[in-house]
Structure 1
Amino acid sequence: MASNHVEIPIHANVLEPKESEGVEESNNNYIDYSQRAQWLRAAVLGANDGLVSVASLMMGVGAVKEDVSAMLLAGFAGLVAGACSMAIGEFVSVYTQYDIEIAQIKRERETNNNNNNEEAEREKLPNPFQAALASALAFTVGALVPLLAAVFIRNHKIRLGVVAVVASLALLVFGVVGAVLGKTPVKRSCFRVLIGGWMAMAITFGLTKLIGSAGL
């Protein structure tokens, strides 16, 4: 009598669902640091610019004026002017990029007869208003550092020294934060912003002192 054989297939990939779930979870945990570039650039640039600009301006005024009111007034004017300038400049820059990318999306749709949702593609583009606000806020935060450092110090020489030291420490902090968020070398970032800040403050102080001594 012939026997009936029933074949039961055995799959070696029975664990594939778990493995695929692990891959999916890994993909979900993946962070594309290039997506942070737009807002990170605006924030770090704004904070560094605010700190260096206002600190240098205060050091320059302090080179020829010992009155604390003159330094604070110059620093406050630099804060307001710089924050407005950063916001407007960033808005114009990012809006120009936005218009260029929108035009490119429309050209690609017309060329390839692509019916993709244009609104969804627009959402991935940089927001000019967010970039402008981030730049203005970051500049303000950076500019407040030397202002707050000098506001309660009456001695002229001590005030200049405190502004320089506090600005240097803040530059190091901004360098570390920018490097950590962007996953870039910390030492290189700190060295770059610190040397740049020192150069700006030293040049402003020296030239202002020279012009003030010449009586111009």
Structure 2
Amino acid sequence: MAFNQTLGVDAKFAVSVHNAEKQTSVEETDFDYSKRSQWLRAAVLGANDGLLSTASLMMGVGAVKQDVRAMILTGFAGLVAGACSMAIGEFVSVYSQLDIDVAQMKRDKRRVGDESHEKLDEEKKESLSSPVRAAAASGLAFSCGAIVPLLAAAFIKEYKVRLGVVVAVVTLALVAFGWLGAALGRAPAARSAVRVLVGGWLAMAITFGLIKLIGSSGL
């Protein structure tokens, strides 16, 4: 009798664990990862832009000037200008979209004008993006990416070693950004990391090569 009771308890426990695992699996399957696309785009692309543009500027200056101070000043100028540009651009873009959404909600309200629609309007207003938050997120993301090559070059006086360290650190950061964006969006990580890495190498190589060519020509 006790053996049968033990079997019954174990069976109930197994069924409950199975149901919990099934519910968790269904919730993960039903989650729409495309909802992350808006903030993911602003964060990952902002950081990647900050990393690439600042590193490319520093590599371009490094092609014609070996002074560490020149590279750092160029990188810092790129960080400040890029962060401001990203923040203002995101603010204007999100504010324009906000104006369009609010105008459409007002037109819908005049056309329908019932209480249920007013409640729906309130829910929509709460879900609208904030231009200030979007601008702050873009500027901060850009700055986080731009600080990477600056820190890599700040304490190295030897010219060739400095360039090599910048390239190595930026390479690791590009792979990390590519992997992070893919992981958060549940996309193939290896393909995303390789794509971001190759694009970053091309940007730095083209900038370095062109500035070197211009500098050697005496322009």
Aligned match of 1:213:
216
Match of 2:172 among 156, 169, 194: 169
Q: Is the CA contact 1:91–1:129 (under 8 Å) kept in the aligned structure 2?
A: yes
Question: Which residues of structure 2 form unaligned runs of 5+?
Answer: 1-18
User: Does residue 125 of structure 2 align to residue 122 of structure 1?
Assistant: yes
- Separation of aligned partners in 2, 1:79 and 1:172: 21
Describe the SS at the equivalent of 2:180. helix
The offset of 1:28, in angstroms, is 9.5
Query: Match for 2:202 among 185, 199, 204?
Result: 199
CA distance in 2, matches of 1:85, 1:102: 26
Deviation at 1:158, TM superposition (A): 0.9
The match for 1:33 is 33
**Which residue pairs with 2:155 in the alignment?**
152
1:73 aligned to 2:97? no
Number of residues of Structure 1 aligned to a counterpart in Structure 2: 196
More deviation, 149-158/119-128: 119-128
Report the counterpart of residue 102 of structure 1 in structure 2. Answer: 102
Structure exhibiting the larger radius of gyration computed from Cα positions: 1
Read off the aligned partner of 2:71 and give its amino acid letter. M
Task: Give per-residue Cα distances to partners, 1:103-155, cap 9 Å, x unaligned.
Answer: 22222222333432333211111111111111111100100100000011111
Mapped to 2, the partners of 1:109 and 1:25 lie a distance apart of 40
**TM-score, structure 2 length as denominator?**
0.83
Paired AA for residue 137 in structure 2: A
Name the one with the larger helix percent: 2
| Aligned AA (2:151) | L
Q: Residue 112 and residue 59 in structure 1: after superposition, are their counterparts in 2 closer, same or farther (change >3 A)?
A: same
CA distance in 1: counterparts of 2:112 and 2:172, whole angstroms: 53
- Report the Cα distance in structure 2 between the residues aligned to 1:112 and 1:214, rounded to whole angstroms: 69
Q: Give the letter aligned to residue 118 of structure 2.
A: N
CA contact (8 A) 1:48 1:139 kept: yes
Q: 1:201 is aligned with what amino acid?
A: M
% identical aligned pairs: 63
For 2:72, give the aligned amino acid.
L
Which TM-score applies when normalising by structure 1? 0.85
Q: RMSD of the alignment, in Å? A: 2.0
C-alpha distance after superposition, 1:166-193 (max 9, x if no partner) = 1011000011111111111112211221
The structural deviation recorded for 1:23 is 6.7
Q: Is 1:50–2:50 an aligned residue pair? A: yes
Gaps of 5+ in 1: 1-18
More deviation in 109-118 or 128-137?
Answer: 109-118
Confirm or deny: 8 A CA contact 1:38 1:126 kept in the other structure.
Answer: no
CA shift for structure 1 position 205: 0.2
Structure 2 match to 1:83? 83
- Confirm whether residue 131 of structure 1 aligns to residue 134 of structure 2: yes
